[in-house]
């Protein structure tokens, strides 16, 4: 039986996943990190939890936070980020610019790539940097 909480795909299998596919899983990984950060840090309660999570996972905020980690990325991570930023997305929410949405997609692709590659500590470390105030 596969343990999907501890999945680690081989690099060639991860390379075969589209940037949109990586962003799809990365969106969930990022949201789980945000929700865990909010709950563990006592940052919000009740209705405030949902509002706080939405404020952190929206494309403009993701794009802003992504800028904090760009200088820390390895060459391979930069390649994944660039590939995600260049993904062909077909619809952009009205509250985000194309550039913000592309950067958010790139961030999600990076988190998806890290998760599928079993690099949870690296994802956590980068998330920590993003959330530093």
Q: State yes or no: is 79 an active-site residue.
A: no
Q: Which of 113, 109, 107 has its CA nearest to residue 129?
A: 107
Q: How far is CA 75 from CA 20, 53, 81, 108, in A?
A: 20, 30, 10, 17
Of the candidates 27, 79, 125, 128, the residue annotated as catalytic is: 27
From residue 47, alpha-carbon distances to 16, 38, 51, 54 in Å are 40, 12, 7, 11
Residues carrying an active site annotation: 27
């Amino acid at each position: 039986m596969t343990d999907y909480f501890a999945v680690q795909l081989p690099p060639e299998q991860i390379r075969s996943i589209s940037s949109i596919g990586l962003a799809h899983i990365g969106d969930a990984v990022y949201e789980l990190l945000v929700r865990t950060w909010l709950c563990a840090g006592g940052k919000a309660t009740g209705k405030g939890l949902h509002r706080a999570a939405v404020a952190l996972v929206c494309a403009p905020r993701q794009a802003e936070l992504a800028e904090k980690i760009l200088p820390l990325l390895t060459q391979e991570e930069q390649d994944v980020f660039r590939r995600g930023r260049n993904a062909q997305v077909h619809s952009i929410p009205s509250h985000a610019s194309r550039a913000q949405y592309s950067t958010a997609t790139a961030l999600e692709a990076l988190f998806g790539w890290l998760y599928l590659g079993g690099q949870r500590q690296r994802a956590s470390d980068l998330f920590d940097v993003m959330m530093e105030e």
